[in-house]
A and B are shown apart, each in its own frame.
Chain A
Amino acid sequence: MSSPNNFPDLVDHTIRHNLRHSVAHAQPGPAVRQQLLQRAARRCWARFWWPAPSDPVLEYGAPGRSLTPLELGWRELAFMQLLRPAGLFGALCQLR
């Protein structure tokens, strides 16, 4: 039985017990493995044409860390605006 003196142990025990109990018998369905291997096989073929980029999920590390800024100057931004379909270049392309 618990007492005020061993309450910290009781808290530890309760957290551990509940977390383990909540996932004790949980396991993924058998289809997950098959889908995984099929997707991996398809990616093998796709990677032949498009080499893998760096992984943002792993690179940014800790959850909540902000993305690295692109550091574009005003010239690059203005140029990209011009090239948008709704920008000047796009509008000129649609002239008849």
Chain B
Amino acid sequence: MSQDATYILRLQAGDLDALGALYDRYRLAVYRTALAITRDPDAAEDILQEVFLRLHTYATSVKPDLPLAPWLYRATINLSYSWFSKHRWLAPLDEVIERLIGPARQRPEPAAEQRAGREQVQRAIDALPFNQRVVIILHYLNDLSLQEIAEILDCPLGTVKSRLHYARESLRRQLEANGQSLELLYEFS
């Protein structure tokens, strides 16, 4: 029996120490996934807490013989989606402010230019539709296979492949437009 299975069985019996142990084990994966989706540390903390509260509340419906990570990722993404749909109007506002302030800035130094390049990539990822952004984050940040992502999102493998393809194409187009920054990033990494 895996360590997770032992903790889940203890959690099902009402042991809160098991919840703490599972939190310690998965907190970074859940928090960083939520942060990558929302780009808001406070929202990511709220989502992290809510994911583990749900694990506690619905522990009896979690199967101990199955891996826990997909369950946690699924809850994280669904809660991030709820947050995203409430705050989707704030992101365009940030872009407008950036556009207004951006031209007034001085030409950046190489290190600052590299940072600016990263910000461009980040903005390109943030501009993706939610479904594509989630696939990109699960695949590139969490190193999940497309099959694992399909199971987490409860959708066909072909849909995940399609979302990844369109997301990569969209990012490629935007990154090609900023080719110099991209090469700079590549050299420094």
* Number of residue pairs spanning A and B whose beta carbons lie under 8 angstroms apart: 135
Q: Are A18 and B36 in touch, CB under 8 angstroms?
A: no
Q: Are B141 and A19 in touch, CB under 8 angstroms?
A: yes
Q: In the complex, A10 Cα to B172 Cα: how many Å?
A: 9
Residues in B with CB closer than 8 Å to A32 are: 27, 45, 48-49
Q: Are B78 and A58 in touch, CB under 8 angstroms?
A: yes
Residues in B with CB closer than 8 Å to A52 are: 57-58
What's the minimum C-beta distance from A42 to chain B, rounded to whole angstroms?
A: 10
Q: Are B141 and A39 in touch, CB under 8 angstroms?
A: no
Chain B residues engaging chain A, CB cutoff 8 angstroms: 14, 16, 19-20, 23-24, 27-28, 31-32, 35-36, 41, 44-45, 48-49, 52-54, 56-58, 61, 74-75, 77-79, 81-82, 118, 121-122, 125, 130-131, 134, 136-137, 140-141, 153-155, 168, 171-172, 175-176, 182-183, 185-187, 189
What's the minimum C-beta distance from A32 to chain B, rounded to whole angstroms?
A: 5
Q: How many residues of A are counted as interface, with CB atoms below 8 angstroms from the partner's CB atoms?
A: 42
Q: Are B186 and A26 in touch, CB under 8 angstroms?
A: no
A-B contact pairs, 12 of them (CB 8 A): A8-B168, A11-B172, A11-B175, A12-B168, A14-B121, A15-B136, A17-B185, A26-B44, A40-B19, A43-B56, A55-B57, A64-B81
